Structure 1
Amino acid sequence: MVLQLLLTAINLVFVIVQIIILLFGLVIVGVGTWLELQYKSLKEVLDSSRLNYGPYLIICVGILVSLIGLFGFVGVNGKNAINKYSLGLYIILAFIVVLGQMAGAMATFVFREQVESIASEGLNETMKYYGMNSEVGTLVTDFWNNLQQENGCCGVNGARDWIGEIRNDSVVFPSTCCKNTTDILCGRNSSTITSAYGGGCLSFVTQQLSDNLLHAGAFGLSVVGVQAVAIIVAVIILTFTSTVSEYSK
């Protein structure tokens, strides 16, 4: 009787953990969708596989985590009735997913060390499209204008980065680099470079990407922790089920 009550309590804990895992999975899907929308213009311009496929990979992981959480319910059928095979399969699948997520989370922290070089390469690549009369040119122009206006920066490492990059002989660097927006001469020639923001935008982009990766890695490890608890509880349920069955004979 005591073992049966204990098993019921453990089953309840297991169900609660599965709900948490399911919610985590949905949050991961949401994060992947947000990243896809947030960096859509940048992804289309850079054509980088790490940017193009990253959000989709996150979405797939979120869907997989949600499915694992739902599958956990299959392991508990009816009132205190355990489907051992389903629960055993759940443990195996969840363990594989946990290993994959741990590797992914650790890779995220390692990838943070490469963010600056990747961001620098990508930003320099986009500068040649600024001001071009094309779809890509419009995306790049809007991206750089927003980046420079919102962060008070200019170019990758400074305003001089723009010299020779803009396909317009009357403009040396974008007006969004100008500290004084009413200065109509700012950006018209290289002598006005002192009127531009002194710092480049690389540090802002690097910091933003690095922070996003840090949060993603921390969140991934928290999901791994919850799933590890779920696996332990599932093993306990199987063990107690066998014990209860032996006492019932």
Structure 2
Amino acid sequence: MVDLVTMSEYNEKKETCGTICLKYLLFTFNFFFWLAGLAVMAVGIWTLIQKSDYISLLPSNTYAATAYILVIAGAIVMITGILGCCATFKERKSLLKVYFILLLCIFILEVLAGILAYIYYQQCTPFCLQLNAELKQSLKQTMTTKYKQPGEEKVTNAVDKLQQEFKCCGSNNSEDWRDSIWINSPEAEKRLVPDSCCKTVTQRCGIRDHPSNIYKTEGGCITKLETFIRAHLLIIGAVGIGIACVQLFGMIFTCCLYRSLKSEPY
């Protein structure tokens, strides 16, 4: 009789220790998961703030939508992490169910987003072709018709920043500026290209379009901007797949903890 009682107490203690270990493992996972959500949301906010100039040059809202999706996804991940911590420490099976379902949904979405982003980058699907066509169609027109025009200060700043940061000149090449409304106006003061095309920016340096003075990048700013966007797609895909793989551990820990609480009250 004493042996049975001792064995029962040992099993109960062993189960309790296992549950405690699972709780701390899941809490640790949720902490890093919450940090990952914060990082994803920060990337989205950074994109909207720091790269908002480039967004104004794009013909569609695809890039902006991606940034907003990152912000929303990051917020959902953070909320899910907090819910996971509450479910873990309160040992509520109902909360663990909700937490597991949220993890599973986020996991599926991240895997799909990662795979699609990688396919778009690797195989240049119709989206890539559409992106390239959109840029070729609109960027030159935006540069030549809106640059330095009244009420288009945002576009002007975006073009200058684009040309300086990516070391390029014009949408396809520097010759595009010959069709510019501003370049052909007296306000240009005989400039052939904007000063932001110059390798060393000084006042009226754009009056000389020699390769030693301005950027003569092959493919112009279109190629640079497209490469920038595609690189971001690759990063988004890698981050999505990476976080999804980490989530597998969270789902495993959640299932184990749920099973260890099977005989406990809600």
Match of 1:65 in 2: 77
Q: How well do the aligned residues superpose, as a CA RMSD in angstroms?
A: 2.6
Equivalences for 1:143-182 in 2 at 5 Å?
143-169=158-184, 170-179=190-199
Q: What 5-or-longer segments of structure 2 have no aligned partner?
A: 1-12, 185-189
**2-11 or 192-201: bigger deviation:** 192-201
CA–CA distance in structure 1, aligned partners of residues 244 and 93 of structure 2: 23
Match of 1:49 in 2: 61
CA–CA distance in structure 1, aligned partners of residues 256 and 133 of structure 2: 47
Match of 1:109 in 2: 118
Kindly indicate whether the alpha-carbon contact (under 8 Å) linking 1:178 and 1:187 is maintained by their aligned counterparts in 2.
no
Residue 219 (str. 1) matches residue 235 (str. 2): no
1:206-240 residue CA offsets vs partner (Å, 9 max, x unmatched): 23222222222211222112222111110111122
How many residues are aligned here?
236
Match of 2:215 in 1: 197
Structure-2 change in CA distance of 1:68 and 1:118 (3 Å): farther
Q: What 5-or-longer segments of structure 1 have no aligned partner?
A: none
Equivalences for 1:121-136 in 2 at 5 Å?
121-127=137-143, 128-134=145-151, 136=152
Kindly indicate whether the alpha-carbon contact (under 8 Å) linking 2:103 and 2:251 is maintained by their aligned counterparts in 1.
yes
Kindly indicate whether the alpha-carbon contact (under 8 Å) linking 2:111 and 2:241 is maintained by their aligned counterparts in 1.
yes
Kindly indicate whether the alpha-carbon contact (under 8 Å) linking 2:59 and 2:134 is maintained by their aligned counterparts in 1.
no
Match of 1:87 in 2: 96
Structure-2 change in CA distance of 1:197 and 1:76 (3 Å): closer
TM-superposed CA distance for 1:109, in Å, is: 2.3
Kindly indicate whether the alpha-carbon contact (under 8 Å) linking 2:54 and 2:158 is maintained by their aligned counterparts in 1.
yes
SS at match of 1:220: helix
Match of 1:8 in 2: 20
TM-superposed CA distance for 1:103, in Å, is: 1.4
TM-superposed CA distance for 1:95, in Å, is: 0.6
Structure-2 change in CA distance of 1:187 and 1:166 (3 Å): farther
Residue 75 (str. 1) matches residue 90 (str. 2): no
**21-30 or 67-76: bigger deviation:** 67-76
Q: TM-score, normalised by structure 2?
A: 0.78
CA–CA distance in structure 2, aligned partners of residues 173 and 52 of structure 1: 29
Structure-2 change in CA distance of 1:241 and 1:126 (3 Å): same
CA–CA distance in structure 2, aligned partners of residues 91 and 158 of structure 1: 53
1:36-61 residue CA offsets vs partner (Å, 9 max, x unmatched): 01222232354622133222211110
CA–CA distance in structure 2, aligned partners of residues 66 and 122 of structure 1: 38
**171-180 or 125-134: bigger deviation:** 171-180
Structure-2 change in CA distance of 1:56 and 1:186 (3 Å): closer
Kindly indicate whether the alpha-carbon contact (under 8 Å) linking 1:149 and 1:176 is maintained by their aligned counterparts in 2.
yes
**14-23 or 123-132: bigger deviation:** 123-132
SS at match of 2:261: helix
Structure-2 change in CA distance of 1:168 and 1:19 (3 Å): same
TM-superposed CA distance for 1:182, in Å, is: 6.7
1:118-154 residue CA offsets vs partner (Å, 9 max, x unmatched): 54445224212112121x2x22222222222333321
Match of 2:9 in 1: none
Identity of aligned residues (%): 23
